[in-house]
Structure 1
Amino acid sequence: MTALAEQTGIISVVLVDDHSLLRESLAAVINSDRRLHVVGQASDGMEALEVIGATTPDVVLMDVRMPRMDGLEATRRICSDPGLEHTRVIVLSMFALDEYVHQALRNGASGFLLKDARPADLVDAIKRTHNAESLFAPSILTRLVENYLNAASGQPTTRKLEEYRLTERETEVLALVGRGLSNDEIAAHLHLAVKTVKHHISHLLSKTSARDRAQLVITAYDTGLVQPRPGVNQPR
């Protein structure tokens, strides 16, 4: 949580898009909610890094196709910057292309929305992202990651599960998160209280340095804890 959100409860937002009219329209929608406030705008990825570095917002709405530096590369740099550990990125696009979604997730984005989303959905997405929730239903998120990994089959996993020093229960919870189960479903599967599941997920986020549930799913696959099912969502 950034200082502004902690002190006032207001979620700060930066808009990044090369179309000024769209930025102004988004700003009007966002600023109409008393819990949200646009603190900066940028027209490309390079400018975005400067604005975000100066404002350290809670949430960034990031376009994909832009001059100088695209939104996917800008997202990667933001999400790998220790000074921006509390800043979440929502990637916005006119195109629901799988490769955009996959790369956005891989680069650290907390979610992916189409630009034709309803204003109410956009506002809700910003609030949910600020609360470290994924903008994908668990089952949809899992299918996206499976599709990505099937397309990149043969590549070695990037981390060993032992590196995270998880408890046996945390490992069980991570595996179920990776399989796409919700907190309620995990609780029922392991015969735990939902509050206890949330506690384990909080520990998992801390131990794996994951920003949100989306990154936990990728961690489950990257470590080999969960394996893609053969033939699932193979690219056509």
Structure 2
Amino acid sequence: MTDPSSTPISKIAVAGGSGTVGRHVVDVARAAGFDAIVLSRSSGVDLTTGVGLQAALDGVDVVIDVTSVQTQSAERSRAFFSAVTTRLHRAEQGSGVGHHVALGIVGSTDAPFGYYAGKAEQESLVEGGTVPWTILRATQFHEFAQQMYRQIAVGPISLVPRMFSQPVAAREVAERLVELAQAGPAGRVPDLAGPERLRMRDMVRSYAAAVGGRGAVVEVPLPGGFGRALRDGTILAGDDADHGVQSYAEWVAAIRR
């Protein structure tokens, strides 16, 4: 059998290629000279049902899966990632795709609650599948604070969970994913985190100031196991993780310009 890592690749399919990190993956792959296609409903592919997927993978060498779903329900998250991963694997086998690269999230298997439950399920399916694979876990993107701002509000007050984060640039995650796609199946690779550990309250306040937001930002402790994981460092990368370069302050400064 030919070693997949020794076979040059030319065509990459990006599942979730229209999302926060997916757009960067497509840009980076195309800039590197690859034929990068987007797997999303806007391109005629439904990843949860499989409609249009088999045809879209014709001639594809590597699939990079950066799909996501907006939910804090463990049941919905597991259902989404189970459906997407199962459909992708089935179509990859039918088209002879030799490498499946998945973007995981740091802490998903240690705190399999809410959204993280689906990410843990995704990893389990990828590892148990027949398509050679690579999994890169990353911490939250800089944009996470943007998503948190005003998501839960009481009048002018924005409520954010009491937690620590190691925000990493979505572009740097995309660059690593494309590098991994070229390198061939590698299993679990070192996690990728941002260069610093920050309190979410402070991140959201910085973002709010950059966009001219008003009102206080107040942190509240979330109950249960997930809330505890947010506070005690479970979702932070370990000492063996790789680290990105762009700081959160640099990302915020770019918003101000």
**What TM-score range do you get, normalising by the shorter chain?**
0.3 to 0.5
Higher strand share: 2
- Pick 1 or 2: higher relative contact order, CA cutoff 8 A, min separation 6: 2
Higher helix share: 1
TM-score by length of 2: 0.38
TM-score by length of 1: 0.41
